[in-house]
Amino acid sequence: MLIFTKIAELRAFLKGIKDVNQSVGFVPTMGALHNGHISLISISKKACNITVCSIFVNPTQFNDKADLKRYPRMPEKDAAFLEKAGCDVLFMPSVEEIYPTEKKETYDFGYLNTVLEGKYRPGHFNGVAQVVKRLFEIVAPDKAFFGSKDYQQVMIIKALVKQMNSNIEIVNCPILREADGLAMSSRNTLLSKEEREIASLVPKIMQEAKQIALTTGIHEAKQFVSNEILKIPDMKLEYYEICDADLNELTDTKQVKNAIALIAVFVGKIRLIDNIMFN
């Protein structure tokens, strides 16, 4: 696996690849890699000739500075994990390399930026768009692969690609879960043993709520989630919503069959998100 830290060197290498008509798949990450990331690498490897993974903890997408400070960083372990997975190229730029000036770009994602993660993490998607646009311009991939645990992020990135008039294909990949159902996330490494046990209740509550929504109603499912989480010490609900595919909140129980339920909770200080499709 080749490792680049400088944009110019990565670009020169990728030019050689594109000159011989090889396709490039891209997996942008913030590191602390887990099997969920590795599944994106595997999907990219099947779809493209060359797979590039980036590791960059993007400061502009953290609305909470303490969250940025505690975000897990383990570059050597990550590089070994990627090498083993057969990743071709790892790009690990510095903050100065990605943001040589302080210039702040602003994006308009309309409604999408006003709900769920957009509502609770002001500025977050603007930061995600800023870094993803920059990375897309550097790597210029044919396809880019994202995990659907961040369902709303995938929608934002699809909207970004449209705004960029780019034809990069955004591939939405399935959520990978631990044996007890917890969605894989870099943030799971920050949980204490007790918190990790508590966190595994989230997918179970989501599953039960799905059955309640399908058999009884949306209101009852929401009530169930909020009551269950209130009972768990050290867990705090930020939101639980049942939405259509465009993230419009559903109120009519008849539409629930094709819904997606999305949740954000705090377990201690650690914020976790998850979602579940109803169909």
What are the catalytic residues? 37
Confirm or reject binding of residue 247 to ligand PAF (CB under 6 A).
no
Smaller CB distance to ligand PAF: residue 154 or 214?
Answer: 154
**Contact with ligand PAF (CB under 6 A) among 14, 26, 28, 241:** 28
Tell me the two tokens of residue 37: 């990331």
* Residue 218 and residue 251 in contact, taking contact as beta carbons nearer than 8 Å: yes
**With the CA atoms of 11, 30, 24 and 1 taken in that order, what torsion angle do they form, in degrees rounded to the nearest 10?**
80
Give the number of residues in contact with ligand PAF, rule: CB under 6 A. 10
In degrees to the nearest 10, what's the CA dihedral of 249, 252, 258, 263?
40
The reply on whether position 82 binds ligand PAF by CB under 6 A is no
The piece of 22-30, 85-93, 167-175, 239-247 that touches ligand PAF (CB under 6 A) is 22-30
Choice from 85, 112, 131, 191 touching ligand PAF (CB under 6 A): 131
The per-residue DSSP string of 215-265 comes to HT-HHHHHHHHHHHHHHSTTEEEEEEEEE-TT-PBP--GGGGGG-EEEEEE
8 Å CB contact between 224 and 209: yes
SS3 62: coil
How far is it, in rounded angstroms, from Cα 59 to Cα 95?
8
Cβ atoms of 245 and 260 within 8 Å: the answer is yes
Is there binding between residue 264 and ligand PAF (CB under 6 A)? no
The CB-of-25 to ligand PAF minimum distance in angstroms stands at: 15
Nearer to ligand PAF, 29 or 39 (CB): 29
User: 67 in helix, strand or coil?
Assistant: helix
Query: Using CB under 6 A, which of the segments 73-81, 128-136, 204-212, 251-259 binds ligand PAF?
Result: 128-136
Give the shortest CB-206-to-ligand PAF separation in angstroms. Answer: 20
132 contacts ligand PAF (rule: CB under 6 A): yes
Cβ-based nearer residue to ligand PAF, 147 or 212? 147
Q: Does 128 bind ligand PAF (CB under 6 A)?
A: yes
Please report whether residue 150 would count as binding ligand PAF according to CB under 6 A: yes
CA atoms within 13 A on the CB side of 265: 32
Identify residues 217-236 at the interface with ligand PAF (CB under 6 A): none
Residues that bind ligand PAF (CB under 6 A): 28-30, 58, 61, 128, 131-132, 150, 153
